[in-house]
Amino acid sequence: MRKRTKLGLYSALCATLLIWAASSNWPLAAAVGAGLGLLIFVFTHSYPHDIAPPSDRRHEATLKRRAAAQRQAAP
C-alpha cells in the first residue's frame, strides 16, 4: 500500500472514531483524530526506518564503497 494511502486511512479512521465517541464539538474531534492518525502513521511507517545511529550508517556506507571498489577492480 502506498504511503499516502496509509496516511489517509489512518487519519480518516482515527477522525471517524473520535467523531463517533464525541457528543459535542465534532470538528475538534475530527481534527484531533486526524492528528492521532498522523502520529500513528509516523510511528508505524517512518520511525522504524530511522532507528540506526549515524555511526552504523557511516559504517554501512563504507562497506558499500569498498564492495563497489572491489567489483570494479576485479578483472
Distance CA 28, CA 8 (A): 18
pTM beyond cutoff 0.85: no
pLDDT over 90, % of the chain: 0
In this structure, what C-alpha cell is assigned to residue 15? 477522525
pLDDT at 50 over 70: no
**Domain encompassing residue 30:** 3-73
Which residue from 17, 73, 18, 7 is spatially nearest to 44, judged by alpha carbons? 7
Cell 486511512 belongs to 9
Residue 41: what pLDDT? 85
**What digits encode the pLDDT tens for the residues 55-65?**
667 788 888 89
**What digits encode the pLDDT tens for the residues 16-43?**
888 888 878 888 888 888 888 888 888 8
Domain count, the chain: 1
| Phi, psi (rounded to 5 degrees) for 53 | -70, 155
Distance CA 34, CA 25 (A): 15
